[in-house]
Amino acid sequence: MTETQTEQFDLIIVGSGSGNSIPEYMNDWNIAIIERGTYGGTCLNVGCIPSKMFVLPADAALSAQRSGKLNIETQYNGVDFAALRDRVFGRIDSISASGRDYRATGSPNVTLFEGTARFAGDKLLEVDMNEGPQRHLTAPQILLAAGARPVTPPIPGLAETGFHTSDTIMRLPDLPKRLGIIGGGFIAVEMGHVFSALGSEVTMMNRSNGLLRGFDNDVAERFTEIFSQRVDLRMGHVPTKVERNDDGIVITHGGEKIVVDELLVATGREPNSDLLDVKSGGLECHDHGTVVVDDTMATNVEGVWAIGDIANSYQLKHLANAEAAVAFWNIANPDKIRRQSYKAVPGAVFSNPQVASVGLTEQDAEAQGVPFTVGKRDYAGTAYGWAIVDETSFAKVLVNSETGLIIGAHILGPQAATLIQPIIQAMEFDQRAEDIAQSVLYIHPALTEVVENALLDALA
């Protein structure tokens, strides 16, 4: 085969994260998967799964340091960080490798291409292979599931000094004595929790005056207040210089010099649409780089579809999986089109405290002119809240005062990602707040009573 020959497929998938979830009803399709990095995508290798496997030990370590409020004496004696790291990635790396091997050798209808793809024309992809000559692929159907990558801010000296992103920070050889974090979003606060709980001195630098910007103001303000008791927060400035000397990494921030041993840059992620040169394939993009799709996951080019981080700004694995299911169905069943709902897209921050959110914030609702009432109740107002001696956590709901439908919910505290689930269901299926507050039973004295109380407060 010469370099210029074009290989034909029924379907080309770019990206092996959610794009790897090929349904059985496509077993007779001739499919190509293109992957430029580690097989399995962000969630498996550098995102949701490994980070939560670090969060749980961090939660345990923090709990041991705070047991005095329960009138018991426990202590945290440190972490074997290398063993923790190896346990986490020993499992994850084997899953990635087995997934890669299965697609490379065990899927008779799938051909794996390991390299970087880019559009060279209408439904024509060039692949710069990690090994071997460039390949040219085409198909009547193409699914873009190529994800996103960490953003590197233009701070003088940063690139030359060396730093970590979420792709590498969890694979450190040892627990750093001093860790600097630039950023204030969910990755920054999750890793800030992990390393501070395990024993690092964490300094977090953020251009905003608080953490979790974009979340409901009540949540962001309370979270920042609580987190500042564990982490040295330096807010309101962007670092102006980074350099390395004999003492470590020196960060100039707000006129001060902060010295750390390792530096995590967590200032956001950008879609990989530019690496794919999607415009050469005729695809339209939003200003922030995501590919324009409709709720069928179709782009403006017939036969080209996009899902996940390259197609939306949520950057949530559960949404990418749902979009993948819709896209695969529509590719295979063009006469029975399905649509993805975005009515109630939830998200959670697995820091400590934990945060969960769905729908509009109070600020969103005000800006949109939606008539609403707010219900807010503290964990401390429930029996289980008394049991865990919680004095800071709360649940908050927003209800449309004309329709009675829930338009948003925000929970900060233990089990937040679990507690919000009935609200997600209610929003998706248009269940009125009155019905789910008064027509179902909430187990007493479970923590779910805080959700019930918040709903009742909104209806009062």
| Tokens representing residue 445 in the block | 């004295």
| Tokens at 295, concatenated | 């709720």
Q: Which residues are catalytic, by number?
A: 444
Q: How many angstroms separate the CA atoms of 116 and 131, rounded?
A: 11
pTM comes to 0.96
pLDDT at 182 over 80: yes
In whole angstroms, what is the distance from residue 78 CA to residue 432 CA? 48
Contact 205, 182 (CB under 8 A): yes
pLDDT tens across 86-112, in order? 999 999 999 999 999 999 999 999 999
Average pLDDT over residues 186-198: 98
Which domains does the chain carry? 6-43+86-150+270-332 (3.50.50.60), 158-267 (3.50.50.60), 346-459 (3.30.390.30)
Per-residue pLDDT at 354: 98
pLDDT at 1: 39
Q: What is the per-residue pLDDT across 384-393, written as a single tens digit (0 to 9) for each?
A: 999 999 999 9
Instruction: Work out the average pLDDT over 1-28.
Output: 91
Q: What is the pLDDT of residue 2?
A: 47
Closest CA to 298 of 338, 336, 271, 335: 338
Biggest CA–CA distance in the chain, Å, is 74
Note the pLDDT tens digit of each residue in 263-315.
999 999 999 999 999 999 999 999 999 999 999 999 999 999 999 999 999 99
Q: What is the distance of C-alpha 451 from the center of its chain?
A: 24
Instruction: Report pLDDT for 299.
Output: 98
Q: How far is CA 353 from CA 223, 389, 447, in A?
A: 7, 14, 15
* Structure tokens that stand for 407 in this block: 């338009």
For residues 141 and 306, the answer to whether their CB atoms sit within 8 Å is: no
Residue range 173-185: mean pLDDT, rounded? 98
Packed helices 217-227 and 186-198: angle between N→C axes, nearest 10 degrees:
20
Measured at the CA of 432, the angle between CA 426 and CA 433, to 5 degrees, comes to 85
Kindly compute the dihedral angle of the four CA atoms of residues 13, 290, 273, 317, in this order, to the nearest 10 degrees.
Answer: -50
77: Cβ–Cβ under 8 A, 6 or more apart, which residues? none
111-139 burial string, b = 16+ CB within 10 Å, else e? Answer: bbbbbbbbbbeebbbbbeeeeeeebbbbb
pLDDT digits (tens, 9 = 90+) for 39-86: 999 999 999 999 999 999 999 999 999 999 999 999 999 999 999 999
How would residue 4 be classed by pLDDT, with cut points 50, 70 and 90? low
Strand order from edge to edge, sheet including 178-182: 232-235, 201-206, 178-182, 262-265
Residues 175, 173: Cα–Cα separation, whole Å:
7
Q: What is the pLDDT of residues 249-264, one digit of tens each?
A: 999 999 999 999 999 9
Residue 346: asked if its preceding bond is cis (omega within 30°), the reply is no
- In 3D space, the residue among 96, 86, 82, 80 whose CA is nearest the CA of residue 43 turns out to be 96
Contacting residues for 149 by C-beta, under 8 A, at least 6 apart: 167, 269, 270, 272
Q: What value does the mean pLDDT take over residues 351-362? A: 98
E-strand stretches of 285-436: 304-306, 346-349, 355-359, 372-378, 394-400, 406-412
How many whole angstroms separate alpha carbon 449 and alpha carbon 5? 64
φ, ψ of residue 90 to 5 degrees: the values are -60, -35
417-434 confidence digits (pLDDT tens):
999 999 999 999 999 999
pLDDT value of position 387: 98
> Which string of DSSP letters, residue by residue, matches 143-164?
EE---EEE-----TTHHHH--B
